[in-house]
Structure 1
Amino acid sequence: MVAFIGIDAGTSMVKAVAFDQSGQPLHTECRPVRLDIQDGRVEQDMDEVYGGVQDVVSALTQRVGRPALVGLTGQGDGVWLVDESGRAVRPAISWMDGRAHALVEEWSAAGVITSVFRRTGSAMFPGCPGPVLAWLDRHEPASLDAAASAVACKDMVFQRLTGVRATDVSDASMPFLDPRTRRYCDEVVAALGLTHRRGLLPTVSDPIAVGELASGAPIASGPYDLAACALGAGVTAPGDGLLIVGTCLAALVVTRELDLDGDPAGLHISTDRPGQWLRAMPAMVGTAALDWMLGIAGVSHTEVDALLEATPPGAHGVRVLPYFAPSGERAPFVEPRLRAEFTGVSLESSRGDLVRAVCEGIGFAARHCLQAAGLTGSLALCGGGTRSSAWAQLFADVLARPVRIAEGEVGARGAVLAAAARSGTELDAGVWTAPVEVVEPDPARAAFYAKAYEEHLDRLAVARALARAN
């Protein structure tokens, strides 16, 4: 049996999928990984993440034998400090971490955030490598002294698997990569006060790095999960977009234009195609917000569809600003102190009202991000949120456009396609990325949500002003 394995080391789950030659999934293995969240700090155990990768790959190879090719992707941003062998110097600091929020505010007031965006097209937020490294340099320099590299999640895994120390242009995009030269911008490193830590930045492999597993199977590393999902969903034409409804709510639009003069927001992810980028607006919280709400309400995921179908659009007046992350928001604006808000709640509000209001709030955030990213073409939808058919319909209604539901595990799928392109292996990308269905918007609900979205923006403007004042 010829099989291809895609590995996706995500924020809350490590997954690996074995595909056949036509992209049909043969077997899937998953292992949960923990997040240590306390006082705005979010960390992960690297050994647990790496052990999860080993487990899922071992389980799949027992089923399908040695794969013909392996592709690796994983969560981006944060800082994973490792020694020469790729082992942890300290726990990984997640992209969700908020400890550097004061530093981001300091840089914003001093114009550093805008200056960096003008060079790289990336607007820094507390959990991205620049602020985290600068925070560590100020408050925990011994960790940086002990480290050989400050890498991303997939880079740590790849080094442990193959011995190769490298990153790729997608993970390097935030915040140090010049998107025109595809190399680190030393002026940005200096602007963040990190010139003396420049040696921690791993080599940028362009094209993506390759190596071998212990079994002898070839493996390629990259791009990171957002860009891998775009490949796995077939979003490669300029103007087309992807909405990832995962732990993070990410809006991506393919572009051939660098907009470095606009408002600093989101990032430009460099791709395997020089001269083409993904304009990305990765909001901080997607399904994590719904998971929180379900836990508070005592509702299981299997009940979401029934609750959404039983509660009308507008959730009987309950509204949610869905900014639940302890580090605030990063797209389509940076507001470290912004937090979630519920309004219109009364003793008559039901669990269905609260769940629908959260889902609608996330839908409005998605519309905001896609508009800022410049969506003009078709839109694909992927991620755990697509398991709810009612929520997928809600997205189509809120966005007032058809959405193509991508085949499952698009990150792992995209990792295989990237590895195949790197190795010269012929796979039919059109067949691998065909949507499973297209969801059309309901005109009446779309009209209702168009007005509700404008009201959402008004409430958001007030909340942002209050966040900055506190």
Structure 2
Amino acid sequence: MTATAATTDTTAYVGIDVGTSAVKAAAFDAGGRTLAVESRPVGLDIKDGRVEQDMDEVYGAVVDVLAAVTAAVPGPVELIGLTGQGDGVWLVDDSGRPVRPAISWMDGRAHALVDAWQESGVLASVFRRNGGAMFPGSPGPVLAWLDRHEPASLDAAAAALTCKDMVFQRLTGTRATDVSDASMPFLDPRTRTYDDEVLQALGIAHRRGLLPPVSDPAATGELASGTRIASGPYDLAACALGAGVTAPGDGLLIVGTCLASLVATRELDLTGEPAGLYISTDRTGQWLRAMPAMVGTAALDWVLRTTGVQHTEVDALLDATPPGSHGVRVLPYFAPSGERAPFVEPRLRAELTGVSLESTTADLVRATCEGIGFAARHCLDAAGLSGSLAICGGGTRSPAWMRLFAEVLGRPLRIVEGEVGARGAVLASAERHGVELDTAAWTAPTAVVEPDPERSEFYAQAYEEHLERLAGSRARARAART
């Protein structure tokens, strides 16, 4: 590794990942080994389809974890990388303080707008311009909803930011976003600047002044302590960097609250069904074709809470019932804002079928995990996966679920454990600050899971049946809009 002259054997590199339900800071040594991790939970205010967060609570958690992880390492912190949840709207004043609670990416209040735009063709026209399929919690619909129903909040705001950009402004005083966070839905992926025609189509051109400047490459700064920091990319793209997914065709599956599928590409294809988005990267002409589904560990968490099962019991339950879960099937679309990838259907809801008095808790848990696996395959197919596949996120803590994913997807999985988003944030920051790190060592998988051929063959047929059930459910959701 080549770095600055101040680097020592005890030098640490810190990544901050501002997640939806927790804020984490992870410190690494020069070889990418984890030295310390600190985490603080943050709340979600969920009511009537609306999901909001307290910005001061989130920022306070960032300050706490950064102080704690810095105190836990033996030497100096060379630099900091910042990443965080994307989408939503975080309205701030000139000093970066909140104008109102943040509206989360999980929020569903703008679903009627999305329904109307879908029917009128606005969604499709925006997708044809920038490759971003809007959903209720993305900035376009949220800003349009606020403009119609809560204009005083927009009038009082100096900027409409995303999460990490709010944190970066509070830490450094600099207001900016990067090309990854700007990708949905206002950035032209070819010019890497805001597209005024998109703003016009959404009826919010008069609010353009709220959009932060796009820093390309990502903004850098210093903390009060003098430690260097860089902002971006946001969590999906940061995880791709942290998992070593940069070669065209290679993919990443993030099994977290959001089930995000990403495939690296040099091709910008704006045809086909409007879904997902193209995330611009810090390299011009390279994108991540992203399918960030609303499906994820939140679906399994709901099932576990409802059945009274602990997370520590999941592996045993998955091993207690065979593939196919004795006929129990789950369409795992539990999010109040429906689904956003690989299709947009705000009114889609979860379905449980095939249950009888003979069904067991193990059947229900396995059927849920299988349903999430089918959703992942749907997203990865739509994103154009052709190379190797890495997998990260909280779901990797379940070896049985990882075997199930490998079987459903029919391919080997490179397991990348730990704080992958924070790791990617450090790598991005190091590049911005001219600090060379051994990327291969930092992104090496912790294990590789091979699929069982017979089970993969079974799941290939089960996947086709899943798509048929999903088509019927989507048709019912569309009918509910009329």
Shorter-chain TM-score bucket reads over 0.9
- The partner residue of 1:149 within 152, 159, 164 is 159
User: Offset of 1:407 from its aligned partner?
Assistant: 3.1
CA deviations 1:228-269 (Å, max 9, x no partner) are 000000000000000000000000000000011222110000
Letter in 2 for 1:242: L
> What corresponds to 1:205 in structure 2?
215
TM-score (norm 2): 0.97
Alignment of 1:37-186 (within 5 A): 37-64=46-73, 65-186=75-196
What residue ranges of structure 1 are gaps of 5+ in the alignment? none
SS at structure 2 position matched to 1:68: strand
Letter in 1 for 2:49: G
Q: In 2, are the aligned partners of 1:407 and 1:434 still within 8 Å (CA)? A: no
Quick check: 1:369 aligned with 2:379?
yes
Quick check: 1:266 aligned with 2:281?
no
The separation in 1 between residues aligned to 2:25 and 2:364, in whole angstroms, is 34
- The partner residue of 2:294 within 284, 288, 301 is 284
Alignment of 1:252-401 (within 5 A): 252-401=262-411
Q: In 2, are the aligned partners of 1:66 and 1:215 still within 8 Å (CA)? A: no
The separation in 2 between residues aligned to 1:341 and 1:28, in whole angstroms, is 38
SS at structure 2 position matched to 1:380: strand
> What corresponds to 2:445 in structure 1?
435
> What corresponds to 1:32 in structure 2?
41
- The partner residue of 1:5 within 14, 27, 43 is 14
CA deviations 1:163-216 (Å, max 9, x no partner) are 000000000000000000000000101111111100000000000101111211
The separation in 1 between residues aligned to 2:205 and 2:456, in whole angstroms, is 50
User: Offset of 1:62 from its aligned partner?
Assistant: 1.1
The separation in 1 between residues aligned to 2:145 and 2:127, in whole angstroms, is 19
CA deviations 1:270-323 (Å, max 9, x no partner) are 001100000000000201111111111111111111110111111111100010
What residue ranges of structure 2 are gaps of 5+ in the alignment? 1-9
Q: In 2, are the aligned partners of 1:407 and 1:433 still within 8 Å (CA)? A: no
TM-score (norm 1): 0.99
The separation in 2 between residues aligned to 1:219 and 1:296, in whole angstroms, is 42
The separation in 2 between residues aligned to 1:348 and 1:298, in whole angstroms, is 18
> What corresponds to 1:424 in structure 2?
434
Quick check: 1:16 aligned with 2:16?
no
User: Offset of 1:66 from its aligned partner?
Assistant: 4.0
Letter in 1 for 2:414: R
> What corresponds to 1:215 in structure 2?
225
Q: In 2, are the aligned partners of 1:308 and 1:355 still within 8 Å (CA)? A: yes
Is 441-450 or 58-67 further displaced after alignment?
Answer: 58-67
Q: In 1, are the aligned partners of 2:332 and 2:351 still within 8 Å (CA)? A: yes
The separation in 2 between residues aligned to 1:423 and 1:168, in whole angstroms, is 16
Is 416-425 or 256-265 further displaced after alignment?
Answer: 256-265
Q: In 2, are the aligned partners of 1:79 and 1:150 still within 8 Å (CA)? A: yes
CA deviations 1:95-137 (Å, max 9, x no partner) are 0100000001111111111110111110111000000000000
Q: In 1, are the aligned partners of 2:396 and 2:417 still within 8 Å (CA)? A: no
The separation in 2 between residues aligned to 1:337 and 1:263, in whole angstroms, is 18
CA deviations 1:62-95 (Å, max 9, x no partner) are 1225410000000000000011111110010000
Q: In 2, are the aligned partners of 1:210 and 1:220 still within 8 Å (CA)? A: yes
Letter in 1 for 2:35: L
The separation in 2 between residues aligned to 1:79 and 1:259, in whole angstroms, is 27
Q: In 1, are the aligned partners of 2:295 and 2:375 still within 8 Å (CA)? A: no
The total of aligned residue pairs comes to 470
The separation in 2 between residues aligned to 1:469 and 1:109, in whole angstroms, is 12
SS at structure 1 position matched to 2:77: coil
Letter in 2 for 1:13: A
The separation in 2 between residues aligned to 1:262 and 1:270, in whole angstroms, is 19
CA deviations 1:128-154 (Å, max 9, x no partner) are 000000000000000000000001000
Q: In 1, are the aligned partners of 2:275 and 2:291 still within 8 Å (CA)? A: yes
CA deviations 1:371-414 (Å, max 9, x no partner) are 00000000000000000000000000000000100131100000
Letter in 2 for 1:441: P
The separation in 1 between residues aligned to 2:57 and 2:297, in whole angstroms, is 22
Letter in 2 for 1:71: G
CA-atom RMSD in angstroms? 0.7
What is the percentage of aligned positions where both structures have the same residue? 79
Letter in 2 for 1:60: V
Q: Structure 1 residue runs of 4+, over 3 Å off?
A: none
SS at structure 2 position matched to 1:357: helix
- The partner residue of 2:471 within 461, 464, 467 is 461
The separation in 2 between residues aligned to 1:349 and 1:160, in whole angstroms, is 52
